[in-house]
Amino acid sequence: MAQKHNKSQLTFDIGTPDEVATCASCHPGGGPYEFDRNGKRMDTIDPNTVPDLDGDYYSYSTSETEHGTAQKPHKFDWRKTGSLEADCFTCHLDPDSKRVTDAQGIKPVAYNPRLRIFAKRVDGKVNAVSLGIYPGRGWQSAFNYSDPLSRNKAGFMPGKFYSDLENPMADSRNYMRQPYVEGEGDPYTGLQAKRKFLGHFFREAPSAGLMGWDNNQDGYPITYVKIVKGKKDFHTDVYYEVNEFDEDNEINIPMLSSKDTENGDNKWTRVCGQCHVGVTDPINHSLQVRTWGMGMKADIVKRGEIWNLDPKTEKDPGYDVHGAAGLECTSCHTNPRPDSLAWDDYVVDADHNFLKGNDTGNHVRDDLDNNPPPKNCYYCHITSGDGPDPSEAHQKLFGSAAKSHLDKIACETCHIARVRYWTFRTFDYSLGFSYNYDNRHFPNPRGGMMDVLMAPYYGPIPMYGMGNINWLVGHTETDDYATDKLAPVAYMLPDHPDDLYGKMYQHMSGQKGFEWEPALIYAHTLRGDQIIPANPITIQTWLDKTLNKVLYPRELNAAVKGIRMTPKGQRYALLITGDKIFDKTGFMGHPDMKPEISTLQDIKMMRKALQKILRKEGEKDPDPVLFIGAHYFKVSHNVLPADQALGANGTCTACHGKNGEIEDRILSFTSNTIQGFDEGIKNGLIFIDPEVNYIKPVDLDGDGHADVLGASQKEVLEKSKEELGKKPKK
Amino acid sequence: MSVFTKSLWAMSLLLLCIFQAQASEHPKIPLLDANGDNVIEIAKKSGQKLVFNGITYYKGNPYSPEQTCGSCHDYQAITKAYHFQIGATDMGDSWGKTHPKFHYSHLLSAGQYGSW
């Protein structure tokens, strides 16, 4: 994020406009998306009246961020786009009542539905876009490359309304923040396809969000939005079906109240799930794990959390004993207050601060951590007596060891011993992400390119990119150790793990589903320092030691010209210096077709390219070094039944002993090692974040060669305990 | 108790239930634009319409959640919550320098808005 006051672009990461365009698919608007850092509403300010390089009123274009730039950002006029207000309907429009039914009988969600986005082209140039409604002949898909109309074999009838559940780029509200069309404009890096951004329409985004709400159930939503080309720019027209409103021009809202908790509908789980967890829609049965574009649900990213509302067995992904018993998010994360300002005088208090715990990886509003705490295992099962008291059962199973273990180990540690959905482990941006920006670019690791059959996966939005991202998908036993199974992100389609790419991955790996084991660390808890389950999210990127800043995506991307291929099919990143960094590692014995930094020579080449960019920005003595850091994100949901807990058989071997969880396990932080790692540390070419400065090359299979950067579980427990002594207790 | 009295009680109870059910429902609302005007009134006056299979849409101003909900609810207070502020409440250009436990001086807050 850019500072408010900047002397040069060296402290200008992304401006507030970029943040809204990128991040508001989860964040509801309001606050910093509406008011600047001086408290003024941004769409009332003339950008010519603000200081040069003001972080709230300057931004980079999508093309500049994607391809990288060392130039200064541009003024941004919020008066054209509007500020993004907080839309109360994001959470308070009943997700099930009064849903629109599209021409094919599909009922998308009531708020922010995924819709077909149609475009009218003249001489190959788009001059109008229609959300949801197919105006008629001559209109094509806005995404004619990644999601052409031909994907719908049933065809389209003029004037009818269509949803597009499979397309994560097509959320009605979110499309308005950053609308684009394919077929013209900026080329996808390294491919023939192009895309063009039409502007930002933050002011109109809430109106578009209502396009799943059909109050009079006539098959058309209460609002309809078009984007139309004017003389110079595109603008937005908002339409209302006035017959949805009564004679007073008012409307009865199917309002979701916080009272609607634990009534069997799981509406709040689905509302919270819009941003937090993967959840299946009970009406159209779609599983959504994305927010918009590349945005993933926050708790899938960190801990693989989905919420299975209709599990067939207790081993299904997303099963949770409390979910199965009818509890939902609001059961534990809200606090009834009779003095509420909420209209129903019931649950959410006036400031709308939900009850939060103290994730070790998150630090936003630490003052609210456990203040008061959400309902947790110990509170319900011991303190309040709401749930069954497990003390006797533990005593019976473990005898004298029960008390000491219950004191030292958080309940979640043993009762969430497995997570059965994928999550992220490594975000490797050390070669930027400009080279891998296409949502259709799924390489076939066995050579050749696969036919494009899928709806979009990763979309061309400005701030995100793939880099070399690894998913944590399983647990594996090597010759010497048990460890985490990581897979390159390109090999699966997260919305549809059973789809073509998922099947390909399954074929290669022999793995039928996802099942990983959380890492164990010591952390401060409400009951003292305890062992908790967590997922170490790892980032590999660059740190400029001169300015003590992690380099910005536009700087990383500017150092890489693109991806090229040798005549023999080996891929490499071509740097602006002319140096080449090759793909040398892979997955299951196959190259993954993603070049990566895996030697000291690679580090030196990319460092040289980055120095060139930083000098262009005006830095005299840049000192970029490869940076590897990690935070542990707590795993606290998807609680399994008692018979799946660690030690459920009453023995100690699940954790202790030669094959136990503690003694026999290596945590893999990255999917490949770096040759010359120790020398790189010594020479200052590699910097490891102090929080995890114990990670190092590890030989997993005893062949004498290091395979990954990792650490033993035992070491992680020891080091995290040491680290606790340095942190203030909360 | 006569049949009539029983019926009266039953009717009263039914009315009470209906009243309570209605009382717990949100009252109907107008959608307001940024100026606080009813978007449907404006749209009807605009006269600019599109018709799709007999369904008529009138062009109007985008609705403003702040005006629409904020006329009864304290929008400013509600949006002070951390879900909306996501770091902005303790953000500052020198935040990273004064919070060394986060290691990196370029960070502006501990939240999404400021550290991302």
pLDDT value at position A63?
Answer: 80
User: Does B75 contact chain A (CB < 8 Å)?
Assistant: yes
Residue B21 burial (C-beta neighbours within 10 Å; 0-12, 13-18, 19+): exposed
On whether the CB atoms of residues A138 and A120 are closer than 8 A, the answer is: yes
pLDDT value at position B21?
Answer: 38
pLDDT value at position A477?
Answer: 81
pLDDT value at position A472?
Answer: 84
On whether the CB atoms of residues A35 and A41 are closer than 8 A, the answer is: yes
pLDDT value at position A340?
Answer: 42
Among A226-235, A291-300, A330-339, the range of highest mean pLDDT: A226-235
Q: DSSP string spanning A236-249?
A: EEEEE-GGGS-TTS
pLDDT bin (cut points 50, 70, 90) of residue A443 is very low
With a cut of 50, say whether residue A347 has pLDDT above it.
no
pLDDT value at position A728?
Answer: 61
Of A181, A336, A319, nearest to A643 (Cα)?
A319
Q: What is the CA radius of gyration of chain B?
A: 26
pLDDT bin (cut points 50, 70, 90) of residue A361 is confident
Q: Which helix (H) or strand (E) holds A501?
A: helix A500-509
Q: Do A27 and B112 touch (CB under 8 A)?
A: yes
Of A632, A30, A465, nearest to B65 (Cα)?
A30
With a cut of 90, say whether residue A478 has pLDDT above it.
no
Beta strands at A117-122 and A560-565: parallel, antiparallel or unpaired: unpaired
What's the rounded mean pLDDT across residues A484-510? 63
pLDDT value at position A589?
Answer: 63
pLDDT value at position A710?
Answer: 97
**Percentage of residues of chain A with pLDDT beyond 70:** 88
Q: Which helix (H) or strand (E) holds A580?
A: strand A580-582
pLDDT value at position A667?
Answer: 96
What's the rounded mean pLDDT across residues A401-414? 94
pLDDT bin (cut points 50, 70, 90) of residue A440 is very low
Tens-digit pLDDT profile for residues A122-145: 999 999 999 999 999 999 999 887
Q: Do B113 and A32 touch (CB under 8 A)?
A: yes
Distance between CA atoms of A36 and A25, rounded to whole angstroms? 19
Cα angle B95-A547-A572, degrees, rounded to a multiple of 5: 120
Q: What is the ipTM of this complex?
A: 0.91
pLDDT value at position A449?
Answer: 38
- Judged by DSSP in three states, A228 sits in strand
Q: DSSP string spanning B5-66?
A: HHHHHHHHHHHHHHHHHHHHSPPPB--B-TTS-BHHHHHHHH--EEEETTEEEEEEPPP-HH
Residue A322 burial (C-beta neighbours within 10 Å; 0-12, 13-18, 19+): middle
pLDDT value at position A492?
Answer: 53
Distance between CA atoms of A107 and A285, rounded to whole angstroms? 10
With a cut of 90, say whether residue A644 has pLDDT above it.
yes
Residue A283 Cα distances to A309, A403, A497, angstroms = 12, 46, 20
Least Cα separation, residue B18 to chain A (angstroms): 16
Q: What's the longest Cα–Cα distance across chain B?
A: 82
What's the rounded mean pLDDT across residues A506-523? 83
Distance between CA atoms of A203 and A50, rounded to whole angstroms? 21
pLDDT value at position B101?
Answer: 72
For residue A693 the two structure tokens come to 């400065």
Q: Do B111 and A246 touch (CB under 8 A)?
A: no
For residue B89 the two structure tokens come to 């409440």
Phi, psi at residue A273, to the nearest 5°? -65, -20
Tens-digit pLDDT profile for residues A88-103: 999 999 999 999 999 9
Residue A55 Cα distances to A77, B86, B91, angstroms = 13, 17, 12
Phi, psi at residue A349, to the nearest 5°? -75, 175
With a cut of 90, say whether residue A327 has pLDDT above it.
yes
A22-45 exposure pattern, b = at least 16 Cβ within 10 A, e = fewer: bbbbbbbbbbbbbbbbeeeebbeb
pLDDT bin (cut points 50, 70, 90) of residue A505 is low
Domain locations in chain A? 9-81, 89-244, 418-730
Distance between CA atoms of A212 and A221, rounded to whole angstroms? 6
pLDDT bin (cut points 50, 70, 90) of residue A38 is very high
Q: Which amino acid is at A270?
A: R
With a cut of 60, say whether residue A453 has pLDDT above it.
no
Q: Which of A335-344, A516-525, B40-49 has the lowest mean pLDDT?
A: A335-344
Residues 6+ apart with CB under 8 A from A317: A306, A308, A420, A421, A513, A514
With a cut of 60, say whether residue A202 has pLDDT above it.
yes
pLDDT value at position A11?
Answer: 94
Q: Do A30 and B75 touch (CB under 8 A)?
A: yes
With a cut of 50, say whether residue A192 has pLDDT above it.
yes
For residue A459 the two structure tokens come to 């979309």
Among A293-307, A541-555, A580-594, the range of highest mean pLDDT: A541-555
With a cut of 70, say whether residue A442 has pLDDT above it.
no
With a cut of 60, say whether residue A499 has pLDDT above it.
no
Distance between CA atoms of A696 and A706, rounded to whole angstroms? 9
Q: Which amino acid is at A564?
A: R
Q: Which amino acid is at A396?
A: K
Kindly report the average pLDDT of chain A as a whole number.
87
User: Does B42 contact chain A (CB < 8 Å)?
Assistant: no
B59 vs A contacts (CB less than 8 Å)? 237-239
Of A671, A661, A669, A700, nearest to A416 (Cα)?
A661
Distance between CA atoms of A210 and B65, rounded to whole angstroms? 11
With a cut of 60, say whether residue A653 has pLDDT above it.
yes
Which sign does the torsion angle of CA A131, A137, A142, A143 carry?
positive
For residue B73 the two structure tokens come to 């609810």
DSSP A454: S
pLDDT value at position A711?
Answer: 97
On whether the CB atoms of residues A730 and A370 are closer than 8 A, the answer is: yes
What's the rounded mean pLDDT across residues A146-169? 89
With a cut of 70, say whether residue B14 has pLDDT above it.
no
For residue B100 the two structure tokens come to 């060394």
DSSP A552: P
A614 vs B contacts (CB less than 8 Å)? none
Q: Do A89 and B84 touch (CB under 8 A)?
A: no
Bridge partners of residue A186, in order along the sequence = A195
Q: Count H helices, E strands: chain A?
A: 19, 28
For residue A554 the two structure tokens come to 């536009």
Distance between CA atoms of B60 and B45, rounded to whole angstroms? 9
With a cut of 70, say whether residue B68 has pLDDT above it.
yes
On whether the CB atoms of residues A481 and A411 are closer than 8 A, the answer is: no
Distance between CA atoms of A703 and A181, rounded to whole angstroms? 51
pLDDT value at position A338?
Answer: 46
B87 vs A contacts (CB less than 8 Å)? 32, 364
User: Does B41 contact chain A (CB < 8 Å)?
Assistant: yes
Bridge partners of residue A483, in order along the sequence = A476, A666
Distance between CA atoms of A431 and A556, rounded to whole angstroms? 7
What's the rounded mean pLDDT across residues A672-692? 96
Q: Do A252 and B28 touch (CB under 8 A)?
A: yes
What's the rounded mean pLDDT across residues A313-323? 93
Residues 6+ apart with CB under 8 A from B54: none
CA atoms within 13 A of residue A22's CA, in its CB half-sphere: 22
Q: Is B109 left (phi over 0), alpha (psi -120 to 50) or beta?
A: beta
Which one is predicted more confidently, A64 or A712? A712
With a cut of 80, say whether residue A304 has pLDDT above it.
yes
pLDDT bin (cut points 50, 70, 90) of residue A441 is very low
Q: Which of B32, B37, B45, B53 to mutate to test the interface with A (most CBs of A within 10 A)?
A: B53
pLDDT value at position A326?
Answer: 93
Residue A657 Cα distances to A410, A476, A481, A653, A714, angstroms = 21, 18, 13, 6, 12
